[in-house]
Amino acid sequence: MTITLRLLCVIGAAVTFFSMARQIKKSKIKIEDSIFWVLLAGLLLLVALVPEIASLTASLLGFQATSNFVFCALIAILLMKEFHNTMQISLLKHRVTELAQEMALKDHEDQ
């Protein structure tokens, strides 16, 4: 893994850590929701500090370059997170619809 990629991983991890800390401090994000991003930043930091882990995994999975593996793994992780967020949004939309219907029925009964 090149020094440039390692540096980008360290910078990305630091930005993520500080960004999440600031958002938690301002009460703009719940701690439970920030855990994913903190863990992802920790993983980036681990890969940057111990690149042999990524190199070994890349060679075992058949990647020609470690950077290809790192980018592919990050894309896969972010896609899984996006899928999870989509499921949560769908559930919340359903709950809002049910609540609106219940309130409309209650208002209709009160009249």
Model confidence over 24-38: pLDDT tens digits? Answer: 888 888 888 889 988
Angstrom distance (rounded) from CA 54 to CA 31:
28
pLDDT score, position 30: 84
Q: What share of residues in the chain are helix, strand, coil (percent, to 5)? A: 90, 0, 10
Q: Give me the mean pLDDT over the 41-66 stretch.
A: 91
pLDDT score, position 6: 85
In the chain, % of residues over pLDDT 70:
99
pTM of the predicted protein model: 0.76
Q: Give me the mean pLDDT over the 73-90 stretch.
A: 94
